[in-house]
Amino acid sequence: MITPTEPDEATAAFIAGMPKAELHVHLEGTLEPVQRLEFAQRNAVALPENDVAVYTDLTSFLASYYPNMAVLQTERDFFDLAYAYLTKATAQGVRHTEMFFDPQAHTSRGIPFSTVITGYHDAVVRAEFEFDISAQLILCFLRDHSAESAMDTLAESLSYRHWIVGVGLDSDERGNPPSKFAAVFARARAEGYLLTMHCDVDQPNSIEHIRQAIEDIGVDRIDHGTNILEDPRLVALARDRGIGLTSCPLSNAVVSDGGKAPEIVELLRAGVKITVNSDDPPYFGGYLTENLLALAATTDLTRDEFVRLQRNAFEISWISAVDRDAHLARLDAYVAGWAR
């Protein structure tokens, strides 16, 4: 039985100041309304008169998400978008981030892959130089496009292999199981990419999709994936193999019944490497700290458990063992500083 408690001021400050890693954020999903206006103006893209969107599930969210990307046209737009996110993330104590991008959402409207990846990569290089943050890019395939389109996108990505750490799978899950992309993910693995994929919350066949991701595809991580609790065998498998789950409470609260807070607590306490992330911050009402505070307000998670969530994030991140250990040592030093 979980007793919701608003975090006291000290706990909120502790959470806000913690060194963090974010592993589930969509760069296209960081587009703030003011940026959208700014990019629309400078690119002379007309915006609809009245476009206040209401969404209550994944499909209706995506229906307003993709049209907004029309304002992203030039390398500078992609640079500015990623640089703005990295600036905000740094201000929230994020020390390492792995960011999704959706090339097909741009190539399908005539924007070259090179424009997208060069803008994003330049922002990573600039932010790493200017801020105390490291950042990596994860290429996501759109699962409601064909496997052939994903394979073509994978082939195109290989010229930029050294700028991309892994591949993921996002967009509308209904009728688009992991198995549709088995060959694409096998090729990605052979090319040296790390593998993750969305298993969104409360989808038709969620648990079968999670099983396919783990047993048939052999993913390193799953994005969302809290429905894994429906099958204790898969929970044990994820725990034993150290397969991380990247959950997003504020996003889940919009697209499903509740923010999956009880599920996150249960999985954390079962020893699964679950983490908290922001998904598409302006669309769902908050960046990483707001997601953690929302979890603090709706669960009885202790400070030690919030530290555990961040340890998990560094542990399942796709960085070198040396960098990971440096991040963990910094987290330990932060906790020790508070205990004094």
Chain contacts with Zn ion (rule: CB under 5 A):
279
Partner interacting with residue 263 (select from Zn ion, ligand HPA, none; CB below 5-8 Å by kind): none
Strands 221-224 and 194-199: parallel
Residue 29 vs 93, nearer CB to ligand HPA: 29
Nearer Cβ to ligand HPA, position 18 or 279?
279
Minimum CB–partner distance for residue 100 and ligand HPA (Å):
7
Nearer to ligand HPA, 36 or 308 (CB): 36
- What is the CB neighbour count within 10 angstroms for residue 162? 7
- What is the per-residue burial (b if ≥16 Cβ within 10 Å, else e) of 170-194? bbbbeebbbebbeebbebbbeeebb
CB of 46 to ligand HPA, least distance (A): 24
Least distance in Å: CB of 94 to ligand HPA? 18
Minimum distance from residue 200 beta carbon to ligand HPA (Å): 5
Q: Which residue is nearest to ligand HPA (CB)?
A: 170
Q: Which residues contact 46 (CB under 8 A, 6 or more apart)?
A: 40
- CB of 28 or CB of 75, closer to Zn ion: 28
Kind of pairing between the strands at 134-142 and 94-101: parallel
Taking the least distance from each CB to Zn ion, the nearer of 73 and 278 is: 278
Given the rule CB under 6 A, which residues bind ligand HPA? 26, 29, 58, 170-171, 198, 200, 251, 279-280
Cα gap 304→306, rounded to integer Å = 5
* Between 202 and 231, CB nearer to ligand HPA: 202
Yes or no: say if 77 and 2 are a contact pair by the CB < 8 Å rule.
Answer: no
- Min CB(140)–ligand HPA separation in Å: 8
Q: Shortest Cβ distance from residue 9 to ligand HPA (Å)? A: 31
Q: Give which of ligand HPA, Zn ion, none residue 203 binds (C-beta under 5 to 8 Å, depending on kind).
A: none
Give the one entry of ligand HPA, Zn ion, none that residue 98 binds, where binding means its C-beta sits below a cut-off of 5 to 8 angstroms depending on kind: none
* Alpha carbon distance 32, 69 (integer Å): 11
Nearest approach, Cβ of residue 23 and Zn ion (Å):
10
Pick one of Zn ion, ligand HPA, none as the site partner of residue 29 (Cβ within 5 to 8 A by kind). ligand HPA
Residue 295: contacted member of Zn ion, ligand HPA, none (CB under 5 to 8 Å, by partner type): none
Q: Least separation, in Å, of the C-beta of 254 and ligand HPA? A: 10
Give the CB-nearest residue to Zn ion. 279
**Partner interacting with residue 200 (select from ligand HPA, Zn ion, none; CB below 5-8 Å by kind):** ligand HPA
Q: Which is nearer to ligand HPA, 18 or 70 (CB)?
A: 70
Residue 166 touches which of Zn ion, ligand HPA, none (CB < 5 to 8 A by kind)?
A: none
